[in-house]
Amino acid sequence: MKSINRHVLYIIISITISSQTTQAQKKTNEQRVDSVMSLMTLEEKVGQLNQYSDDLIATGPITIDADKASQIKKGQVGSLLNCMGSERTRTWQKAAMQSRLKIPLLFAQDVIHGYKTTFPIPLAESCSWDLKAIELSARVSATEASASGINWTFAPMVDICRDARWGRVMEGAGEDTYLGSKIAYARVKGFQGDKPGEINSLMACAKHFAGYGAALGGRDYNSVDMSERQLLEIYLPPFKAAANAHVATFMSSFNDLNGLPSTGNRHLLRDILKGNWKYDGFVVSDWSSIGEMITHGNVKDGYEAALCAMTAGCDMDMESRNYKNNLIQLVKDKKVSVSLIDDAVKRILHKKFELGLFDDPYKFCNTEREQKELNDPTHALAARDVAKRSIVLLKNDNHLLPLSKNTKTIAFIGPLVKPKMQNKGFWDVEVPGIDSAYVVSQWEGLVNKVGKTSTILYAKGCNIEGNNRDGFAEAVNVAKQADVVILSIGERRDMSGEAKSRSIIEIPGIQEELLKELLATGKPVVVIINAGRPLVFNYTAKNAPAIIYTWWLGSEAGNAIADVMFGDYNPSAKLTMTFPASTGQVPLFYNHFNTGRPPKNDSDLRNSYIDLPIYPRYEFGYGLSYTSFQYSQLHLNKKKLKSNEQLEVSATITNTGNYDGEEIVQLYLHDLVGSIVRPVTELKDFKKIALKVGESKTITFSIDAEKLSFFNQELKWVAEPGEFDIMIGASSKDIQLKDRFELVE
């Protein structure tokens, strides 16, 4: 006991000392920022607010600026994006070191799901519901990128999205606010590490603030019109979670929100973010979004655009050059005060100090470290681990999967079997001078797994798009010779991503027709679906005996897919977006309100379409395992809960099948009567547990008033007394245990 106490005391003392050190450090940084600022001219201050893209790669409409180097040397640039590699970043940093005050540059990059090692696309990773795996993916990405000169990533994207037509849905964590907030927190921690300035960490950026995922019609960059309540309750919490994780920066979004482009939206940036949330990091605009306000039509020219964005609270101008061209004049004209500019500059310089760049501007430009980190074999292992956790088993009739490693002949068919780069999905990084083509194709993965024991036959069958059936005969012929057929179909990787919205989200081309021909051979067919969004594939869903949804899994895709298909990993992932049965159903999401006339059954179409029920193909939270789980013994420690109390809810989960496995146990609530209509069901907690065959575990959830709260008519965050249904299950629909409790005054 004594030793435990001493241990506890030691921890308390260490925490106190370390928080004092952090406080002291902060103070020193503040003093250092002030002393640099006291030396700066207005022109140099405005320079800090200016970010350019290097011309290595373009992630937006690039302006080739021959004069970049001389501007940097004059202190007119605060940051570069799209500049990678320890040598190239060093070269530009050297230019900054020739400026009068030697203020170092920040180097930013879209490190979205990996750097040299590509991890699964973020939407895929979200299906793991595995916060440690998600954090690890960000950690490894940060380790590689920070060794390659970069110190700032434009990630995580934390936009909630309920419309699978939107191409950028691949970049987020799906449709749910609760899960999205947990994932936002984990990703920020993963990128940023334990404290600012660690050599293997990046500053993160919560984007796109705000509402971008709700673009009308799922069209990229489109307008967003939503109630303040929906904004606060559904779309902003993941941003708040990122802020709670001390995310270093925010990015304003392209879209207009209720008529005001987010980049010039004072309510969002100054009132909510910097006001209510007391956020002390800085805000960068999206690419050219300050200038794009002119095209939106709420400002006349660059002068007004700069005025609007600066007043609203946007600190750094990515690529539009409107701050650089107008802020000094705006100060002269007394439209913008120097103190407003000072506030923005302070926020940016503070981050540069936190990163340690003033002490060593070349801190992240070490070629030896770059070589070491970019060739660390453990990164591939991590990528494989996260990838297999991201694969969703959608269907498995008669336990077709896992396949036996002794299968004599396997036909591996489809347009996505052999390509390598497709597996990377959108937003991979092509690192100049580095072999970023490292990807284990699906073919190689299968060969690695059973190449020595099975005969593996191949046919492409058809292309991803188009209607050329010339390859069908060969595919059928190959299938006939096999004991089992594996068919890999889906989207092209660039069919989702920025500016990649689709009006029809079906599997493109004649790929499902190829499946039909293969099924006609009578052979068992396992279908792999590759995509960056939920797709519609009714024929496959109804007719294929086994389906795995792999999204885009990154560098280790082939190995991870083989791990799952042959049972070396028992799939555990669950969908984080509702899968519609038709494009016409979107936006479709699980936590909707009830209408006054909800459908009673499939044939009751009053609240649906006359030609289609409103039920999804697969619901939020859905995903199968090779084993089965039984839910029992729901227990609530009280049936009446006071607002200052906790309700403890426990349930026992047993692995009743034949494989060890993991289950994502989901807890949903429904507020029966609310002064504002409440969703039919809402995820409020989950636990991912591992169970050996026959093993049982009892898990406990805690519910407090916070979990029961919502924004009422006055937009106050309240928990209203009344009854709540509590539901525990394997998906939002597959509810296994249910009870009711009451919140009393």
SS3 content of the chain, % helix, strand, coil (to 5): 35, 20, 45
Beta bridge partners, 455, equal 409
What one-character-per-residue DSSP string does 29-48 give? HHHHHHHHHHH--HHHHHHH
Cβ proximity to ligand NOJ: between 163 and 286 the closer is: 286
Nearest to 620 by CA among 590, 592, 593: 590
| Number of other CB atoms surrounding residue 197 within 10 Å | 19
Cβ proximity to ligand NOJ: between 79 and 396 the closer is: 79
Token pair recorded at residue 108: 């930013």
Q: Residue 219, interface with ligand NOJ (CB under 6 A)?
A: no
536 CB-side CA count, 13 A: 18
Least distance to ligand NOJ, CB of residue 149, Å: 16
CA angle 175, 176, 181 (to 5 degrees): 120
Least distance to ligand NOJ, CB of residue 45, Å: 24
Token pair recorded at residue 135: 């954090």
Tokens 């956790």 belong to which residue?
A: 389
Least distance to ligand NOJ, CB of residue 282, Å: 15
| Number of other CB atoms surrounding residue 12 within 10 Å | 10
Cβ proximity to ligand NOJ: between 60 and 722 the closer is: 60
Tokens 């936002």 belong to which residue?
A: 184
Least distance to ligand NOJ, CB of residue 429, Å: 11
Distance CA 148, CA 85 (A): 4
| Number of other CB atoms surrounding residue 294 within 10 Å | 17
739 CB-side CA count, 13 A: 17
Contact pattern for ligand NOJ over residues 275 through 314, marking x by CB under 6 A: -----------xx---------------------------
Q: Residue 154, interface with ligand NOJ (CB under 6 A)?
A: yes
CA angle 262, 267, 269 (to 5 degrees): 60
C-beta of residue 593 within 8 angstroms of C-beta of residue 677: yes
Exposed/middle/buried for 246, CB within 10 Å: 0-12, 13-18, 19+? middle
Token pair recorded at residue 532: 């960056």
Least distance to ligand NOJ, CB of residue 34, Å: 31
Which helix or strand (DSSP H or E) is residue 738 part of?
strand 735-744
Which residues, other chains included, contact 94 with Cβ-Cβ below 8 Å and sequence gap of 6+?
none
Least distance to ligand NOJ, CB of residue 286, Å: 5
| Number of other CB atoms surrounding residue 163 within 10 Å | 23
| Number of other CB atoms surrounding residue 87 within 10 Å | 14
Which residues, other chains included, contact 586 with Cβ-Cβ below 8 Å and sequence gap of 6+?
162, 163, 164, 165, 218, 505, 580
C-beta of residue 105 within 8 angstroms of C-beta of residue 549: no
Cβ proximity to ligand NOJ: between 125 and 444 the closer is: 125
Cβ proximity to ligand NOJ: between 167 and 313 the closer is: 167
C-beta of residue 480 within 8 angstroms of C-beta of residue 522: no
Contact pattern for ligand NOJ over residues 56 through 75, marking x by CB under 6 A: ---xx---------------
3-class secondary structure, 357: coil
Q: Residue 663, interface with ligand NOJ (CB under 6 A)?
A: no
Least distance to ligand NOJ, CB of residue 424, Å: 17
Cβ proximity to ligand NOJ: between 62 and 69 the closer is: 62
Find the catalytic residue in 110, 159, 286, 671: 286
Distance CA 224, CA 260 (A): 9
C-beta of residue 78 within 8 angstroms of C-beta of residue 105: yes
Q: Which of 86, 104, 105, 110 binds ligand NOJ (CB under 6 A)?
A: 110
| Number of other CB atoms surrounding residue 706 within 10 Å | 10
Q: Which of 113, 162, 189, 207 binds ligand NOJ (CB under 6 A)?
A: 207
- 656 φ/ψ angles, rounded to the nearest 5 degrees: -100, 5
Distance CA 658, CA 636 (A): 30
Which helix or strand (DSSP H or E) is residue 331 part of?
helix 322-332
Least distance to ligand NOJ, CB of residue 415, Å: 29
Cβ proximity to ligand NOJ: between 60 and 356 the closer is: 60
C-beta of residue 698 within 8 angstroms of C-beta of residue 633: yes
Cβ proximity to ligand NOJ: between 25 and 59 the closer is: 59
Least distance to ligand NOJ, CB of residue 56, Å: 12
In this chain, which residue has its C-beta nearest to ligand NOJ? 59
Cβ proximity to ligand NOJ: between 205 and 476 the closer is: 205
| Number of other CB atoms surrounding residue 277 within 10 Å | 15
Distance CA 126, CA 184 (A): 10
What one-character-per-residue DSSP string does 244-285 give? HTT-SEEEE-SSEETTEEGGG-HIIIIIIIIIIT---SEEE-
Least distance to ligand NOJ, CB of residue 151, Å: 15
Contact pattern for ligand NOJ over residues 231 through 270, marking x by CB under 6 A: ----------------------------------------
- For ligand NOJ (CB under 6 A), the number of binding residues is 9
Nearest to 387 by CA among 275, 503, 555: 555
Least distance to ligand NOJ, CB of residue 288, Å: 9
333 assigned to active site: no
Cβ proximity to ligand NOJ: between 427 and 741 the closer is: 427
Instruction: Report the greatest alpha carbon distance in the chain.
Output: 80
Contact pattern for ligand NOJ over residues 480 through 519, marking x by CB under 6 A: ------------------x---------------------
Q: Which residues form the catalytic set?
A: 286
Binding residues for ligand NOJ, rule: CB under 6 A, are 59-60, 81, 110, 154, 207, 286-287, 498
